[in-house]
């Protein structure tokens, strides 16, 4: 087989040992953290009809979604590019009579038409929760603390949570009478923290947005600076909510690094309240994000998605500790007994002269020599 025929389409990859097993184990550990907090797992399908998948807030994914024609119904189908909206749909349809607040979790793969410069992958793992049917600040805090706990549970301790209010800038802009077009340009400039462009777009109304930019940073001083900004009537409630949620998160997880960025909007197109992004010092990109939104059924909801691929890149897969080479001729019951004690066993299928070397060659940590278990040194 010529090597060129091994080529996979851009952005797709084979995941090999030991990474594939580590990925599965990491996802299960995250799901276990969610389950321990009462989140129950759902499993939406890979494909849905395009008009359901991309309805309402799903429209943001239109440009990223692979489509194919269903030969059975002859309707266009979309391959999911994000799972959040599928879970929201489940909550609004088949689980519409389930008691609220409804806590759901999910894990799976999504596909995107195009990767980005930083993430050329077109197949990505997502893992997350949705908390549907509660508008309480306690719900916001629960989601944020849970995200930090989950990431901590798989070994990333030094996470930073960046809190944002994606609805704040548009609300302020509307309060100051900026046009919709100017607001779009302003939001883009604020996402870059580009003060010059903010000045150019907002003119005499720029100082309040400049002040927002300068108010971002570690939570305590940021909140103090935010409080001193003269905001239009009707946007103060948003700010009070942010303060409330920040203090609840601080109380729930005092050692968590919490920052606030009141001007960040990118990627929060359908969010309506307190939102957040997870960063870690060891990862070059964000590990996940989430926040408050209103479901298609009109229910106040919050939740978050963790990007398992980014998470895994920041982690180092542990080396297996107890892999035992069992030479040919060892009684089946002996191997079974070792497995019961927690060993992984690798059976020799042919007789070999040097059991130790054979064990090493097959990445075993130990070999059964005679009746005793001997370490063989690291293979690879």
Residue numbers at the binding site for another protein (CB under 8 A): 116-118, 158, 160, 162, 191-196, 213, 217-218, 257, 259, 261, 266-267, 277, 279-286, 313-317
Considering the complex, what minimum distance in angstroms separates the CB of residue 79 from another protein?
A: 23
Which CB atom, from 73 or from 196, has the smaller least distance to another protein?
A: 196
Which CB atom, from 87 or from 278, has the smaller least distance to another protein?
A: 278
Considering the complex, what minimum distance in angstroms separates the CB of residue 268 from another protein?
A: 12
Q: What distance in Å separates the CA atoms of residue 247 and residue 368, rounded to the nearest whole number?
A: 57
281 conformational bin, left if phi > 0, alpha if psi -120 to 50, beta if neither = alpha
**Pick from 172, 143, 164, 123: which is nearest to 23 by CA?**
123
Considering the complex, what minimum distance in angstroms separates the CB of residue 18 from another protein?
A: 10
DSSP secondary structure string for all residues of 97-157: TSPSSEEEEEEEEEE-S---SS---SEEEEEEEEEES---HHHHHHHHHHHHHHHHHTT--
Which CB atom, from 79 or from 169, has the smaller least distance to another protein?
A: 169
Considering the complex, what minimum distance in angstroms separates the CB of residue 118 from another protein?
A: 6
Which CB atom, from 64 or from 257, has the smaller least distance to another protein?
A: 257
CB 78 within 8 A of CB 59: no
Considering the complex, what minimum distance in angstroms separates the CB of residue 96 from another protein?
A: 36
Beta-bridge partners for 110: 124
Considering the complex, what minimum distance in angstroms separates the CB of residue 17 from another protein?
A: 14
CB 37 within 8 A of CB 103: yes
Which CB atom, from 192 or from 339, has the smaller least distance to another protein?
A: 192
Q: Residue 204 corresponds to which tokens in the numbers above? A: 């005499």
Q: What distance in Å separates the CA atoms of residue 365 and residue 297, rounded to the nearest whole number?
A: 55
Is the four-CA dihedral 44, 50, 56, 58 of positive or negative sign? positive
Considering the complex, what minimum distance in angstroms separates the CB of residue 275 from another protein?
A: 14
Q: What is the DSSP letter of 242?
A: H
Q: Residue 75 corresponds to which tokens in the numbers above? A: 């309707």
């Amino acid at each position: 087989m010529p090597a060129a025929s091994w080529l996979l389409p851009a952005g797709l990859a084979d995941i090999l040992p030991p990474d594939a097993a580590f990925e599965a184990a990491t996802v299960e550990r995250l799901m276990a953290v969610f389950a321990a907090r009462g989140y129950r797992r759902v499993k939406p399908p890979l494909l849905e009809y395009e008009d359901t998948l991309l309805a309402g807030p799903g429209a943001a994914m239109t440009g990223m979604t692979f489509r194919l024609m269903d030969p059975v119904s002859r309707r266009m189908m979309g391959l999911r590019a994000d799972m959040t909206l599928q879970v929201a749909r489940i909550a609004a349809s088949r689980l519409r009579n389930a008691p609220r607040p409804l806590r759901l979790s999910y894990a799976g793969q999504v596909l995107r038409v195009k990767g980005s410069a930083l993430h050329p992958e077109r197949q990505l793992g997502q893992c997350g929760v949705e908390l549907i049917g509660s508008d309480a600040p306690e719900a916001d805090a629960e989601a944020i603390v849970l995200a930090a706990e989950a990431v901590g549970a798989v070994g990333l301790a030094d996470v930073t949570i960046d809190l944002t209010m994606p609805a704040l800038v548009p609300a302020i802009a509307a309060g100051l009478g900026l046009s919709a077009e100017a607001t779009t340009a302003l939001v883009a400039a604020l996402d870059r923290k580009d003060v010059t462009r903010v000045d150019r777009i907002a003119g005499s109304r720029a100082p309040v947005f400049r002040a927002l930019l300068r108010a971002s940073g570690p939570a305590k001083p940021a909140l103090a600076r935010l409080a001193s900004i003269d905001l239009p009537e009707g946007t103060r409630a948003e700010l009070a909510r942010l303060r409330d949620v920040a203090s609840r998160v601080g109380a729930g997880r005092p050692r968590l690094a919490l920052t606030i960025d009141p001007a960040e909007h990118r990627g929060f197109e359908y969010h309506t309240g307190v939102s957040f992004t997870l960063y870690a010092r060891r990862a070059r990109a964000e590990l996940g994000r989430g926040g408050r939104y209103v479901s298609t059924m009109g229910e106040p909801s919050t939740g978050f998605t963790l990007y398992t691929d980014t998470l895994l890149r920041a982690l180092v897969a542990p080396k297996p500790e107890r892999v035992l080479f069992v030479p040919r001729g060892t009684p089946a019951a002996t191997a079974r007994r070792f497995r019961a004690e927690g060993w992984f066993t690798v059976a020799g299928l042919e007789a070999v002269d040097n059991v130790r070397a054979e064990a090493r060659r097959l990445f075993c940590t130990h070999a059964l020599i005679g009746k005793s278990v001997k370490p063989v040194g690291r293979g690879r």
